[in-house]
Amino acid sequence: MGKKSLRKLALIMVLTLIGTSTVFAAADTVAVTIPSDVEGTAYEEAVKALMDKGIITGDTDGKFHPEANLTRAQACIIVVKSMNPPAAEVTGTATQLVGKSGFADMSGYGWAEGYIKYAVQQRVTKGYPDGTFRPGNNVTMNELITMVLRAAAYTDEGLGGTWPSNYTGKAAELDLLSNIPAPLPTYATKWMAAQLDYNALSKIEAANLTDREHGSGPDKVPDTKSMTYVTGSFNDSMTTYNGKAISSKVLVYTYGEKKNYSSTMALSNKLSDYREDTVYKYKNVKTPAYYKEENGKITEMVVPMDVGFSGRVYCVINETITTVNGSGEAVIGFETLTATRKITWLGEKGLADILSAQYLQGEIYELNVSNGEIQSIFKASEAGKKGAVFEEISGTASVSGWDDVESREGAVVKIISADGGAMFEIKSNASIYVIDKNNQTEYREGSISSIRSGVQIRAYDIIDDDIVSADIIVVLR
């Protein structure tokens, strides 16, 4: 690691420890310890369950402070974390930044902005008519109950009635107010928020299941007769198309070539002519499309096979497939985790395959993509040959590249290396992937808690400064 100063790392460690006072920040502990001011209480089970899932954490003094009030920003983080959103949408990654929420009063709340933006996009909450969100205001119990139920897919239209009684009444009907004081207090304390979220957690998780197989054949031929045809653009975070919100459960079908799209085109009735895909391939893409809208969100889309993101993509590869492109030509595709999301990228005709024995060894790959089609692919560690992009900051003690983790304190990892030990920081928006030693066939999304003493890692740094910090980490455990 000798290229960069460990004295700077020591400073990073100090700053990291100073900056972790947010009670409801991302979980970064190796083992969950129940705070002493929660032990033996009626809400201990709820707090422990949410801490186990990384939805909440204790404070820096080791306590939970259950009677403290909760802010609107903190409430958004709890509820959004319970929805298990793609990490890149709330914290960003090294290659994809989280956009601004658009509210005028977010100064000092950068740590919550991605969660607030996601909550607003998913209609879990909203701001005020004056363009503010008021993130530091204490969240009311009515507001919190509304957030929780909306995260569980309940809507104003579906409930009817008048706010807030329509939401508080539904919460009581669903027994979500179990162990919550009656009558409801004006403001929610931290323990009440934990209890309410715990009571609703199974419903929130069930309403936000989005992990489908992408790149495979669909179950049905899309009904384009019930769809709107338009040419529009996906936004930077792939959450809107032509200015309309996209459902987190959107079904995306790819079909044919862009040049043939029109409002009067005749689409095939053969199931094999379509592919099910993922919206995450269309960052900043302008394309014609058919779409279906329900409750103000796009729920189904049909887009050409020859459109998609253009630029450099950094990913781990799970599998290669053989398929056909929009022109009917036989091509290979790569099933990847890109910015922690499942995305299948198709290669241009003639692109060579990669043996699984290579890509399942913790390697990060760079795909050079044009209109969603891979033009070339190589190991990210080789990017220096074309202009330094990535540097592997592990591999100091092992020919295979894997290093043993000696310890992790917060965001600082110490690995066992040839010179006796080296440290580096994990970026707050790092992409973390996990692969099992005994079943080394597929990567899955991990978290900072996946990195602990005894596991092996490969860590990669985008060379954009003079500080060693990991943007992508692969964990072997």
- pLDDT tens-place string over residues 109-157: 988 888 999 899 888 999 999 999 999 999 999 999 999 999 998 999 8
Q: What is the mean pLDDT of residues 32-60?
A: 88
pLDDT band at 178 (very low <50, low <70, confident <90, very high): very high
311-385 and 393-476, same CATH topology: yes
Separation between Cα atoms, residue 219 and residue 267, nearest integer Å = 16
The alpha-carbon radius of gyration of the chain (Å, integer) is 23
Separation between Cα atoms, residue 133 and residue 30, nearest integer Å = 33
Separation between Cα atoms, residue 404 and residue 438, nearest integer Å = 17
- The Cβ-side half-sphere exposure at 292, using a 13 Å CA radius, reads 16
Separation between Cα atoms, residue 16 and residue 10, nearest integer Å = 10
Q: Which residue has the higher pLDDT, 409 or 348?
A: 348
Of the listed ranges 23-37, 45-59, 252-266, 447-461, the one predicted with least confidence = 23-37
Q: Look at residue 68 in the predicted model and tell me its pLDDT.
A: 95
Q: Which residue has the higher pLDDT, 128 or 387?
A: 128
Strands 412-415 and 422-435: antiparallel
Q: How far is CA 385 from CA 182, 380, 409, 469, in A?
A: 66, 10, 34, 21
Instruction: Indicate the DSSP class of residue 383.
Output: G
Q: What is the mean pLDDT of residues 206-222?
A: 64
Q: Look at residue 6 in the predicted model and tell me its pLDDT.
A: 31
Question: Domain 393-476 carries which CATH code?
Answer: 2.40.50
* pLDDT tens profile 150-174: 999 899 988 999 999 999 999 999 9
Q: Look at residue 464 in the predicted model and tell me its pLDDT.
A: 65
Q: Look at residue 127 in the predicted model and tell me its pLDDT.
A: 92
Q: What is the mean pLDDT of residues 379-390?
A: 61
Q: Look at residue 257 in the predicted model and tell me its pLDDT.
A: 93
Q: Look at residue 86 in the predicted model and tell me its pLDDT.
A: 75
Separation between Cα atoms, residue 129 and residue 121, nearest integer Å = 16
Give the distance from CA 426 to its chain's centroid: 17
Q: Look at residue 71 in the predicted model and tell me its pLDDT.
A: 96
Q: Which residue has the higher pLDDT, 410 or 105?
A: 105
Q: What is the mean pLDDT of residues 211-232?
A: 75
Q: Look at residue 325 in the predicted model and tell me its pLDDT.
A: 85
Q: Which residues contact 118 (CB under 8 A, 6 or more apart)?
A: 80, 85, 89, 90
CATH architecture of 311-385: Beta Barrel (2.40)
pLDDT band at 384 (very low <50, low <70, confident <90, very high): very low
Q: What is the mean pLDDT of residues 199-216?
A: 72
Separation between Cα atoms, residue 435 and residue 362, nearest integer Å = 8
Instruction: Indicate the DSSP class of residue 42.
Output: T
pLDDT band at 21 (very low <50, low <70, confident <90, very high): very low
Domain regions of the chain by residue span: 32-207, 224-303, 311-385, 393-476
Q: Which residues of 172-197 are buried (b: 16+ CB within 10 A; e: fewer)?
A: eeeebbeebeeebeebbbbbbbbbbb
Q: What is the mean pLDDT of residues 367-377?
A: 92
User: Is the pLDDT reported for residue 416 higher than 50?
Assistant: yes
- Considering the entire predicted model, what is its pTM? 0.64
Q: What is the mean pLDDT of residues 293-302?
A: 93
* pLDDT tens profile 321-343: 888 888 888 889 899 999 888 88
